[in-house]
């Protein structure tokens, strides 16, 4: 088991940032009709969700239940998020920025704690992703929204996975865990922000399915052409020259 300990203040910082972002996100959705308590609950869930899932997967008692500070910081930060929502007239990029930073922190802390617990590299990466996306997933479920990590246009899973891979890789080659963690935070946050700014996303499922349909249609057209009278294939007659309709005996696409 690797001998290093994640400072509690760093864990609380991630909780606080996540709770502020969660409350601001929920408070902006006025059509949901949330009251003040509902917004605070969403903020607390976002601040605590990723760390709770992380500790359950690692197999240790959730840190949230071991110290008063976690719930108090989450609740206070959620209240702060509601106040910030009233202060700033344009909060979109502030919410996205806080989300990116919280994701980076939770990813780095999650993967580092997994390594410290003696888990192999692949589970450590997985736990980093779950820790980074867990709070947001709980938020989306509670607000009856599409879960961001599973939908086009967010790169939540990709950015978290890349960051966790970098942290685990740097640790494997002997880099200081603080340096590896900082690289993870920066990479996750930067990838997340750039994906929002430039609209980066993975292909839609429909686009992937459509590729197979296009290939099947192309192959069907090709087989139909080869069955037409007078159409020659390569190796017949003049070695693949044009058939009666002036096209090549095989599909050139």
pLDDT score for 248? 41
pLDDT averages per 10-residue partition of the chain, 253 residues: 80 97 92 91 96 96 95 96 82 89 97 96 97 95 91 84 97 95 97 90 65 57 58 48 42 41
Interatomic CA distance for residues 71 and 80, integer angstroms = 14
Contacts of 66 (CB under 8 A, 6+ apart): none
pLDDT score for 240? 44
pLDDT score for 154? 74
pLDDT score for 204? 72
DSSP state of 120: -
């Amino acid at each position: 088991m690797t001998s290093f300990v994640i400072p509690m203040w760093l864990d609380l910082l991630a909780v606080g940032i996540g709770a502020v972002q969660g409350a601001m996100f929920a408070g902006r959705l006025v059509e949901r009709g949330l009251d003040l308590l509902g917004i605070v609950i969403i903020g607390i869930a976002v601040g605590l969700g990723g760390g709770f899932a992380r500790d359950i997967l690692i197999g240790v008692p959730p840190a949230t239940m071991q110290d008063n500070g976690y719930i108090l910081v989450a609740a206070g930060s959620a209240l702060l998020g509601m106040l910030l929502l009233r202060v700033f007239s344009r909060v979109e990029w502030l919410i996205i920025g806080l989300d990116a930073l919280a994701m980076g922190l939770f990813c780095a802390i999650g993967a580092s704690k997994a390594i410290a617990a003696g888990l192999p590299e692949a589970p450590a990466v997985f736990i980093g992703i779950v820790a980074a996306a867990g709070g947001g997933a709980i938020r989306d479920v509670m607000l009856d929204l599409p879960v961001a990590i599973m939908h086009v246009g967010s790169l939540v899973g990709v950015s978290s996975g890349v960051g966790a891979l970098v942290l685990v890789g740097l640790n494997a080659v002997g880099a200081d865990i603080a340096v590896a963690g900082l690289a993870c935070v920066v990479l996750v946050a930067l990838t997340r922000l750039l994906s929002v700014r430039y609209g980066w996303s993975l292909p839609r499922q429909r686009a992937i399915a459509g590729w197979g349909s296009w290939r099947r249609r192309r192959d069907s057209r090709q087989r139909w052409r080869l069955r037409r009278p007078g159409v020659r294939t390569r190796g017949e007659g003049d070695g693949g020259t044009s058939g009666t309709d002036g096209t090549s005996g095989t599909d050139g696409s």
